[in-house]
Amino acid sequence: MVKINNILACVDSSQYSTSVMKYSAYIAKRLSAKLEALHIVDIVQLEGSFMYDLSGALGLEPLSDFVSKIKNMLQEKGNNILTSFKEITDFYGVELTTKMKTGIVSTLIIDESQKADMVFIGKKGVNASYERGILGSNIEPVVRKIEKPLFVADEHFYTPRTLIVAYDGSSVAESALHYAEFYKEHFQTDIKIVNVGTDKEKADKLFAELPNELDKQFIESDDTIRSIIEFTSDQDNPLLFIGAYGKNRLLEMILGSTTESILRKKTNFSMLIVR
Q: What percent of the chain has pLDDT over 90?
A: 68
For the chain, give the percent of residues with pLDDT over 70: 83
Is residue 136's pLDDT more than 50?
Answer: yes
Among the listed residues 151, 213, 224, the one whose alpha carbon sits nearest the alpha carbon of residue 181: 213
Tell me how far the alpha carbon of residue 41 is from its chain's centroid.
19
Top-confidence residue, 134 or 35: 35
**Does pLDDT of 265 surpass 80?**
yes
pLDDT band at 45 (very low <50, low <70, confident <90, very high): low
Report the predicted TM-score, pTM, of the whole model to 2 decimal places: 0.89
What distance lies between CA 62 and its chain's CA centroid? 35
Average pLDDT of span 80-104:
96
| pLDDT, position 125 | 66
Convert the pLDDT of each residue in 153-207 to its tens digit: 999 999 999 999 999 999 999 999 999 999 999 999 999 999 999 999 999 999 9
Residue 224 has phi, psi (to 5 degrees) of: -60, -45
Please state which of the ranges 76-80, 130-134, 221-225 shows the lowest mean pLDDT. Answer: 130-134
Is residue 234 predicted with pLDDT exceeding 90?
Answer: yes
Asked whether residue 264 carries a pLDDT value surpassing 90, the answer given is: no
Please give the backbone phi and psi of residue 197, each rounded to the nearest 5 degrees, phi first: 175, -170
Helix, strand or coil for residue 20?
helix
Helix (H) or strand (E) holding 50: helix 49-57
131 — pLDDT class (breaks 50, 70, 90): very low
Sorted by sequence, the CB contacts under 8 Å of residue 30 that are 6+ apart come out as 186, 187
- 238 contacts: CB under 8 Å, gap ≥ 6: 160, 161, 162, 163, 164, 232, 269
Complete domains list, the chain, with CATH: 6-153 (3.40.50.620), 162-274 (3.40.50.620)
Instruction: Give the pLDDT confidence score for residue 275 in this predicted structure.
Output: 85
